[in-house]
Structure 1
Amino acid sequence: MRKWAKGFMLLLTIVMVLTACSGGGASSGSTTTTTNEAANGGNNEATNANANAEEGNAEGNNANANAETEGEDATNEAVASDAVANFPKSEIDPNLSGEVTYWTFIDNKKYDGEILKAFNAAYPNIKVKTVFVPFADLHNKLQTTLAAGKGAPDVALVEQGQFPRYSTGGVLTDLLQAPFNAGKYKDYVSEYNWNRWSSIDGTQLLGMPWDVTPSVTYYRADIFEELGLPSDPTELGEYIQDPENFFTLAQTLKASGKWAMEWRDSPVHWLGDSFGYYDKELNWVRNTDEFVKFLDISKRVNQLKIAPHDGIYSDKGKQRVKKGESVMYVSGTYAPRDLALNFPEQKGKWKTTSAPFGLNFGAGGSTFVLPAQSQNQEAAYAFIEWITTTEAAWKLQVEQSIQPDWKNITELDWYQNHTNAYLGDQSDFSFYSSLTDKLPVRRYTTLDGLAWPIWVENVIKALDKNIDSKTAIQQAQEDIEKKLKPEKDKLLKLMQQQ
């Protein structure tokens, strides 16, 4: 029996006694939540992108795929070699000239200068004017100028939750069309990342794939080891895939005055992040047995009181982390950067592994769009293609906690061998890239941000009133479909006109 398992059995006995003595009833009161899904209709990418410290990420071995044979490794090396060697060459003339205006919500002049210097090494005759615009202002101003047919930049950085605002009406250029021909790159990014920047029906590519942010689990390995819990990333990742194991671990932490999660309703929202709200024909996708199952899991989190229903970066949350009380949470791969900024004294104590319950879901991301009204489209696309696909660009971008989803980059030695000091020198980048192909394809629509608060209200009500999960999922659909019918009809009409 492993060392951690021996200690764990003793702790489990204590937990079972404490659990039997506690109430375990549903908690009530709070009706707010913060999850990755909220950002899909909001702006967490702005926060992530503007905190420009070095990214820290995850364990180099995917906890859900540890049984690779030597033969599989050899095959993977061959594929990696092909991805780098056979990557399509740019068709753009390096002597192309022009002036490009680029709007970004990333406020980092040093980074901007380095990027433009590297870009001009490849395209010396293209002048790029970088304009920083605060997150909300950028997306609002972009929508206004696109609708007006004038005033938009040649290139804009757009966050995924905002992207649907521009995905209908023909206001963005389809990058699959000549002279751009971006379709040649499709096999070099994940299916998830390619599709999220496509039109709702999947026939047009309206944003160039850039970064990707899988969600993973972060935990205090030193505290887990002290408590006799599995502290090795591979072992822990395998262990928490089973809900029963996860809840046993969470109750062990609770018995020591510690939290295993942030939000009591998270599990059903994590599943929602995997599938979105609607398919490409705007059919509702959240009324399935899987959603019933995960609402049950959220109910159990609530009943066992293993989450404070508060984020780790609130004032109280920061205190919990500093006291060693919040010791485990699920986040995007930018989390070690934020942990290092807020809790530098805990360097080397955190580690990371897979998300629990067999889930794979994204936690944000952005794209570069080319407005149809641009008069400098070829020069603009030269910048877009360069910043998303080249090694020169990515060596700068990974330092800003931006995770690539391009196989010609993620298979390079410097990327694969990267380690993160904050995570105890774990291999991080290689772990991330091992997760991207597992992210399910989902659609992003203008209805998502409108559906989110209604969905949360129904979930919280189900937790607080202990409503049958199947009934609650059905009621959520009916509530959302009724309230959003005018907006849905409007969107369907726009899609038919496109």
Structure 2
Amino acid sequence: MKKKNLNRFVAVALTFAMSASLLAGCGGGDDGSSDATGASDGGAQVENTSEEEGQNIAAAVEEDPSSISGTIEVGGWPSGDDGFEAAMAGFNEAYPNIEVELVFTDTTAHHQALQTALTAGTDAVDVAMVEGAYIAQYRDSKALTDLNVLGAAELKDDFVEFKWDQATSSDGQRLIGIPWDLGPTLFYYRTDVFEEVGLPTSSEEVAELMSTWDGVMEVAEKVSIPGQRWFLPSAAYPYQWLFINRDYYDEDLNLILEREGDLECLENCLKIRENGWDMNVDMWSTEAYAAYAAGTCVCVAAGSWFSGFFKTDIDPDGAGHWGAIALPAGMGDTNWGGSFLVIPEQCENKEAAWAFVKYMLATTEGQNTMFKAIDYFPAYKPAWDAAPELYTEGDDYFGGQAPNAIATKIAANVPVVNNTIMDVTAEGYLYSSFNAGAEAGETPEQIRERLANDINAACAELKEQQIQTLKDAGVWDGE
């Protein structure tokens, strides 16, 4: 994995702070003519793939691969291109007459270009990556091919349920994307610092110690030297961990900030800040990256893809200095990140496009080759059993621990949640509202109230767009 891999998650992290108006723009124009899914119904119309056409495409892909020819463009952001390049030899062997051109840019620019092309009805790539942070904007778009028409429904049981659900339309009838990867959330810690201060270092013992907030606070106090060494990059992050699944709204679009243990979590976040146990910086910042490598920021939580970042970008000389467990303090199994592949309806070679998507994401060879290359944890469950050494064996970088084994258990238990187009905006306020409340000396209850007010104000317009999308799908029962 190369350094450009960081662009994927840094760019997505930056979207957490986007304004509601910018996200509304992703849904289309200000005149209400858009469906808020990343493609305007008021733009150029493209004929939807018929059932008969879909059956013919599916048959060609399955029964006569050599008959499919032509060139397709595949678009996305780094380092999806590295993954595709790694698996391209296998794809070329299976489909010798298809040529693939990779059109890659940064995450934000890619999604903006995709939205523009879908609205215009022209100039879209034939296959496009869509980040998990954006998928709710696209799930009801008629500008994307219903992959169930191509036979995707037969693959459903092979994929992690919550990821499949994210790409399913609001009425449950259409599937607009095949899940590529997910990011089971892991808590990383510096084993060398833990050993220095007399804490256990094995993943089993650390998980037991940090299973309660008392244990978390014990660790925070022991590893921290205010002004010199810190427990976390920011005290806001443990509160964010409660929301990593982006389950901010229920099916009636009520904001659901109150959840088990949230006030206790906020209380301990405030304690971390008050004691100077956090750097009070963004986990993606240059300062935080340097501190991870130096051992002066001792812990950080992220999707399992962060393992690769440590090895090649953040701390390549840190073999044996890092360990990993599931999230501490009794938090449930969660996921951070993940992507999908979609096929715009305007694609003129759907046979080749579907062949590419199906090989890369619905074969063990495609998924595991890419996993080895770029650490994107497959949403395709058969891949886990096909190469157990990738998922269960110890990793020398982590001192023989097996973070992927923990990630595999988490991946199987992440719940299905209700994702909306408001989620990215809501996520940004977890940090800003906490920091403002902490600076103002507010209580956990006051910070939660501040957060609710901030999110409701910022997401008011987006919520109206979401309601209209559900009404159009015939599934809105609210007022």
- Given the two structures, how large is their TM-score scaled by the length of structure 1? 0.76
- Superposed CA deviations along residues 293-348 of structure 1, whole A, max 9, x for unmatched, are 33223222222321111246644334434443222221221223222223222222
| Aligned counterparts of 2:73 and 2:173: Cα–Cα separation in 1 | 27
Question: 5 Å matches for 1:14-163?
Answer: 38=13, 41=16, 91=62, 93-99=64-70, 100-106=72-78, 112-163=84-135
Q: Please point out which of 243, 247, 270 is paired with 2:217.
A: 247
- Other-structure match for 1:21: none
- Other-structure match for 1:354: 326
- Other-structure match for 1:474: 449
- Distance of aligned partners of 1:274 and 1:36 in 2 relative to their CA distance in 1, 3 Å threshold: farther
- Distance of aligned partners of 1:236 and 1:156 in 2 relative to their CA distance in 1, 3 Å threshold: same
| Aligned counterparts of 2:12 and 2:235: Cα–Cα separation in 1 | 14
| Aligned counterparts of 2:141 and 2:408: Cα–Cα separation in 1 | 34
Question: 5 Å matches for 1:11-410?
Answer: 38=13, 41=16, 91=62, 93-99=64-70, 100-106=72-78, 112-176=84-148, 178=149, 180-200=150-170, 202-254=172-224, 258-288=229-259, 290-311=261-282, 314-340=285-311, 341-359=313-331, 360-398=333-371, 399-410=373-384
| Aligned counterparts of 2:168 and 2:179: Cα–Cα separation in 1 | 9
- Distance of aligned partners of 1:217 and 1:414 in 2 relative to their CA distance in 1, 3 Å threshold: same
Letter in 1 for 2:426: A
Residues 111 and 396, structure 1, Cα contact 8 Å, conserved in 2: yes
Residues 17 and 425, structure 2, Cα contact 8 Å, conserved in 1: no
CA deviation after TM superposition for structure 1 residue 408, in Å = 1.0
Stretch moving more, 484-493 or 34-43:
34-43
- Superposed CA deviations along residues 396-453 of structure 1, whole A, max 9, x for unmatched, are 2112121112221101233345442221233343332111022232333322233334
Q: When the two structures are aligned, how many residues end up with a matched partner?
A: 417
Q: Identity of counterpart residues, as a percentage?
A: 25
Query: Which sections of structure 2, spanning at least 5 residues, go unmatched?
Result: 1-8, 19-60, 474-479
| Aligned counterparts of 1:91 and 1:442: Cα–Cα separation in 2 | 33
- Distance of aligned partners of 1:109 and 1:371 in 2 relative to their CA distance in 1, 3 Å threshold: closer
- Distance of aligned partners of 1:372 and 1:443 in 2 relative to their CA distance in 1, 3 Å threshold: farther
CA deviation after TM superposition for structure 1 residue 272, in Å = 1.5
| Aligned counterparts of 2:85 and 2:462: Cα–Cα separation in 1 | 42
Helix, strand or coil at the partner of 1:106? coil
CA deviation after TM superposition for structure 1 residue 370, in Å = 1.2
Letter in 2 for 1:466: G
| Aligned counterparts of 1:200 and 1:132: Cα–Cα separation in 2 | 29
- What is the root-mean-square deviation in Å for CA atoms of aligned residues? 2.8
Residues 287 and 474, structure 1, Cα contact 8 Å, conserved in 2: no
- Other-structure match for 2:42: none
CA deviation after TM superposition for structure 1 residue 250, in Å = 1.0
| Aligned counterparts of 2:318 and 2:360: Cα–Cα separation in 1 | 34
Residues 197 and 207, structure 1, Cα contact 8 Å, conserved in 2: yes
| Aligned counterparts of 2:12 and 2:444: Cα–Cα separation in 1 | 20
| Aligned counterparts of 2:168 and 2:307: Cα–Cα separation in 1 | 30
CA deviation after TM superposition for structure 1 residue 368, in Å = 0.3
Residues 367 and 380, structure 2, Cα contact 8 Å, conserved in 1: no
| Aligned counterparts of 1:374 and 1:435: Cα–Cα separation in 2 | 36
- Distance of aligned partners of 1:221 and 1:324 in 2 relative to their CA distance in 1, 3 Å threshold: same
- Superposed CA deviations along residues 96-126 of structure 1, whole A, max 9, x for unmatched, are 4143221121258765444222112112233
Q: Please point out which of 420, 432, 435 is paired with 1:460.
A: 435
| Aligned counterparts of 1:107 and 1:315: Cα–Cα separation in 2 | 20
- Distance of aligned partners of 1:200 and 1:270 in 2 relative to their CA distance in 1, 3 Å threshold: farther
Letter in 1 for 2:169: S
- Distance of aligned partners of 1:494 and 1:292 in 2 relative to their CA distance in 1, 3 Å threshold: same
- Other-structure match for 2:57: none
| Aligned counterparts of 1:402 and 1:329: Cα–Cα separation in 2 | 19
